[in-house]
């Protein structure tokens, strides 16, 4: 007989496969004979007459063999009875339902090895000057000015927030036919905030360096009164009746949200329900993701900064592709309340901007404890870091720099610049065990749980990407990961955290190639912060020699837990003596 995918998922769901040892081998055995009228086990009402009411010892034996387990006949009989008893409980919980925002009772802690969150010092915050500024003659130069420069211009009265807001909205509309980076304009909200900022600044009430500065937000962040689509067709018309904490904090700082920017559907890639977001350095190429819109819009001078998110490379990858600077903060340093949940133990929010200084300004505004996100902490931050350059200890992943890969020469040159600026630079290596790859399966399992309803309803079929390496299929496969194995991954992750923290105890900052070696996966699992900064604009291989198209590349700086100030200081030191981050893409 032939059973389609939806019938298979219904069977797996009723059998509780997301929480047992059963792999996909039960597909053939559990569903066979369960069509109405056929001989077989009794049928459970309410499941289209296709799902057996009980699990048989034969099904247990088949699944156990795939799981590498061997039980006696008596053990198999008792397991079947236990699992059959559990079926009604699974169904009862599914009937109750859960919103995406509801977190598990367990929570991830990057200090699981017992290290304490550092206390704030007296130098907490920014130590930057914003007093002087002369307005550029051309609007294009104004559009590409950094946050610090715009703050000086606004405070000096050289430009108004309304002017900036209209400029960036105009540029978004001008270039979005090519970039496809905007999902929703928030113009009414933006103009109201800009007018308010101008009145406050002109009245002598300057709130700080983000006061009156326009920006864009990745469209997994809720903004009350506007759609929050998560980039996915099933949620195209979704409106969430709340505003994310990071947006609230930026509102309090006087910043102006002009648009909700694209993300790859449900935070993977650069393909969303309305097409592909493009790289302004080469519009024939996608902008990478999942913070696709933030990367493209910042690079093209359509916003001076944007808020992105990262679970496994979603700030780092589009920052690299689009040639912008991205900060992925320490896990728990920035509240995720009001953000789409993908992986409760790995999701992080952070700024993408022109420079490390700009990222520091934005991070200072959005960091901190939030009772609505129990993973958050009130950690210290100072920029420039209170530690002198001569006191900073910098490591570099020696084996990664010895490898051959695209961009290795630029990475080695950046490392040499760091060695000149910081006298204490030494080779190091990440722990070789436990292996990072298998532990990353935790992300897939958590994501499948976050979007369980999407999978079981069949609405995942409406998403644009349906290939193997796309969420719909990954959600389906992850439902069959045994619960015991998920816990074992978590235990290995705890050991990885301990070993990584032991290594990082000797360094404030570690320099690493962005993609060579295990750095990206390892540090997302451990919760360490990083800054990704552009360090090369390479020619595009297939383009003519005189083509303006370029392939941005980057290098990554990893900080110790809550050492955003140190890692941003090293990044800023590199950018003081280089200009890659100041270059403008041909689309601009």
Number of domains in the chain: 2
CB 220 within 8 A of CB 340: yes
Assigned domain for 104 exists:
no
Q: What does the alpha-carbon distance between residue 292 and residue 294 come to, in Å, rounded to a whole number?
A: 6
Point out the catalytic residue in the list 290, 291, 335, 518. 290
In a domain, 587, yes or no: no
Using CA atoms, how far residue 69 sits from 17, 29, 62, 72, in Å, is: 16, 18, 10, 10
400 and 490, same domain (yes or no): yes
Distance, in Å, from the CA atom of 475 to the CA atom of 39, rounded to the nearest integer, reads 32
The residue annotated as part of the active site, out of 13, 18, 218, 393, is 218
- 107 lies in some domain: no
Average pLDDT, the chain: 90
CATH number, residue 154 = 3.90.1300.10
The pair of three-digit structure tokens given for residue 29, joined into one six-digit string: 């055995």
Query: Can you say whether residue 459 is alpha, beta or left, with left for phi > 0 and alpha for psi between -120 and 50 degrees?
Result: alpha
Q: Which of 78, 97, 116 is the last residue of a domain?
A: 97
Q: Please give the residue range of the domain that contains residue 44.
A: 1-97
275 within some domain: yes
User: What's the confidence (pLDDT) of residue 20?
Assistant: 42
Which pLDDT score is estimated for 444?
96
SS3 538: strand
Q: What is the pLDDT of residues 329-374, one digit of tens each?
A: 999 999 999 999 999 999 999 999 999 999 999 999 999 999 999 9
Q: How far is CA 453 from CA 9, 45, 438, in A?
A: 12, 20, 25
pLDDT in tens, 213-251: 999 999 999 999 999 999 999 999 999 999 999 999 999
Please say if the pLDDT value at position 11 is more than 50.
Answer: no
* pLDDT computed for residue 67 by the predictor: 72
Q: How many CB atoms lie within 10 A of CB 161?
A: 27
In the listed set 55, 80, 97, which residue is the last one of a domain according to the structure? 97
In a domain, 118, yes or no: no
Residues 72 and 214 in one domain: no
pLDDT-derived band at 53, boundaries 50, 70, 90: low
d(CA 363, CA 563): 12
> Where does the pLDDT of residue 34 fall: very low under 50, low under 70, confident under 90, or very high at 90 and above?
very low
Helix H or strand E encompassing 394 = strand 394-397
Q: Are residues 50 and 134 in the same domain?
A: no
- Average pLDDT rounded to a whole number, residues 407-428: 97
Q: What does the pLDDT look like over 465-483, one tens digit per residue?
A: 999 899 999 999 888 888 9
Residue 470 lies in a domain: no
Report the percent of the chain where pLDDT is more than 90. 77
218 is catalytic: yes
Residue 24 has pLDDT above 60, yes or no: no
Task: Give yes or no: residues 361 and 496 share one domain.
Answer: yes
The CA distance from 97 to 310, in Å, is 27
Q: Is the pLDDT of residue 168 over 90?
A: yes
pLDDT of residue 71: 87
Residue 354 is assigned to a structural domain of this protein: yes
Q: What is the mean pLDDT of residues 29-50?
A: 42
What percent of the chain clears pLDDT 70, i.e. is strictly above it? 91
Out of 152, 314, 343, 393, pick the active-site residue: 314
Q: Is the pLDDT of residue 82 over 60?
A: yes
Q: What is the pLDDT of residue 388?
A: 78
pLDDT band at 62; cut points 50, 70, 90: confident
Checking if the pLDDT of 31 tops 80, the result is no
Same domain (yes/no): 46, 171: no
- Give the pLDDT mean for 375-400: 91
> How much is the average pLDDT of 17-44?
42
132 & 78 share domain: no
Check whether 41 has a pLDDT greater than 70: no
CA distances from 345 to 76, 348, 370, 442 (A): 34, 9, 16, 9
User: 90 and 130: one domain?
Assistant: no
Q: Is 137 left (phi over 0), alpha (psi -120 to 50) or beta?
A: alpha
Is residue 204 located within the same domain as residue 164? yes
pLDDT of residue 491: 95
Q: Which tokens sit at 139? A: 């609007």
The predicted pLDDT at position 18 comes to 38
Q: Is 77 in the same domain as 146?
A: no
Is 48 within a domain? yes
* Phi, psi (deg, nearest 5) at residue 238: -70, 130
- 213/291 same-domain check: yes
Q: Is 291 a catalytic residue?
A: no
What number is the average pLDDT over the span 409-426? 96
Active site residue 348: no
Q: Which of 97, 116, 138 is the last residue of a domain?
A: 97
Quote the tokens at residue 125: 């915050």
Q: Out of 87-96, 487-496, 565-574, which region has the weakest mean confidence (pLDDT)?
A: 87-96
Is the pLDDT score of 525 beyond 70?
A: yes
Using CA atoms, how far residue 117 sits from 364, 386, 414, 561, in Å, is 17, 17, 31, 8
Instruction: Quote the tokens at residue 565.
Output: 């100030």
* 92 and 197 in a common domain: no
Structure tokens at 52: 């057996």
Q: Average of pLDDT values for 414-423? A: 96
Residues 362 and 496 in one domain: yes
- Per-residue pLDDT at 9: 42
Biggest CA pair distance of the chain? 84
Query: Do residues 227 and 237 touch, judged by C-beta distance below 8 A?
Result: yes
């Amino acid at each position: 007989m032939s059973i389609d995918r939806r019938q298979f998922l219904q069977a797996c769901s009723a059998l509780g496969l997301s929480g047992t040892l059963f792999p996909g081998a039960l597909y053939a055995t559990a569903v066979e004979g369960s069509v109405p009228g056929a001989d077989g086990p009794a049928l459970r009402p309410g499941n289209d007459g296709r799902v057996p009411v009980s699990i048989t010892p034969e099904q247990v034996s088949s699944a156990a063999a795939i799981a590498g387990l061997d039980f006696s006949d008596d053990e198999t009989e008792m397991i079947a009875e236990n699992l059959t008893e559990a079926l009604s409980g699974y169904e009862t919980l599914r009937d109750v339902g859960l919103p995406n925002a509801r977190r598990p009772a367990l929570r991830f802690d990057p200090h699981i090895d017992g290290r304490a969150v550092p206390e704030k010092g007296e130098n907490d915050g920014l130590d930057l000057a914003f007093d002087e500024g002369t307005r550029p003659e051309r609007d294009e130069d104004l559009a590409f000015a950094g946050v610090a420069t715009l703050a000086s211009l606004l405070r000096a009265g050289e430009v108004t927030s309304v002017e900036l807001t209209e400029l960036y909205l105009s540029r978004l509309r001008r270039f979005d036919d090519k970039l496809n980076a905007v999902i929703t304009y928030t113009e009414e909200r933006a103009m109201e905030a800009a007018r308010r900022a101008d009145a406050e600044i002109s009245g002598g009430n300057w709130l700080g360096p983000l006061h009156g500065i326009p920006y864009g937000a990745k469209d997994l962040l809720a903004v009350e009164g506007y759609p929050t689509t998560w980039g996915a067709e099933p949620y195209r018309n979704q409106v969430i009746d709340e505003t994310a904490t990071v947006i609230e904090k930026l509102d309090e700082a006087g910043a102006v949200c002009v648009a909700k920017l694209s993300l790859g559907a449900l935070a993977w890639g650069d393909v969303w329900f309305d097409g592909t977001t493009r790289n302004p350095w080469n519009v024939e190429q996608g902008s990478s993701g999942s913070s696709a819109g933030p990367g493209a819009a910042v690079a093209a001078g359509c916003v001076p900064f944007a808020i992105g998110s990262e679970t496994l490379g979603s700030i780092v990858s589009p920052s690299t592709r689009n040639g912008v600077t991205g900060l992925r903060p320490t896990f728990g340093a920035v509240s995720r309340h009001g953000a789409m949940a993908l992986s409760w133990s790995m999701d992080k929010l952070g700024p993408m901007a022109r420079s490390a200084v700009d990222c520091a300004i934005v991070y200072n505004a959005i960091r901190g404890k939030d009772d609505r996100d129990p993973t958050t902490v009130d950690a210290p931050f100072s920029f420039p870091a209170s530690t002198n350059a001569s006191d900073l200890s910098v490591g570099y992943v020696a084996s990664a720099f010895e490898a051959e890969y695209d961009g290795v020469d630029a990475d080695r040159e950046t490392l040499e610049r760091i060695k000149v600026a910081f006298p204490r630079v030494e080779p190091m290596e990440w722990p070789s065990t436990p292996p990072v790859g298998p532990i990353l399966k935790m992300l897939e399992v958590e994501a499948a749980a976050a979007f369980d309803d999407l999978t079981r309803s069949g609405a995942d079929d409406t998403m644009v990407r349906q290939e193997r390496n796309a969420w719909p299929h990954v959600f389906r496969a992850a439902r069959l990961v045994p619960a015991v194995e998920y816990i074992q991954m978590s235990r290995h992750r705890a050991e990885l955290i301990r070993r990584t923290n032991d290594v990082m105890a000797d360094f404030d900052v570690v320099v690493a190639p962005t993609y060579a070696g295990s750095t990206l996966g390892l540090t997302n699992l451990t919760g360490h912060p990083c800054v990704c900064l552009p360090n090369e604009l390479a020619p595009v291989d297939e383009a003519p020699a005189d083509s303006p198209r370029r392939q941005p590349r980057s290098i990554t700086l990893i900080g110790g837990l809550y050492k955003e100030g140190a890692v941003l200081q090293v990044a800023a030191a590199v950018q003081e003596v280089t200009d890659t981050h100041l270059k403008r893409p041909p689309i601009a």
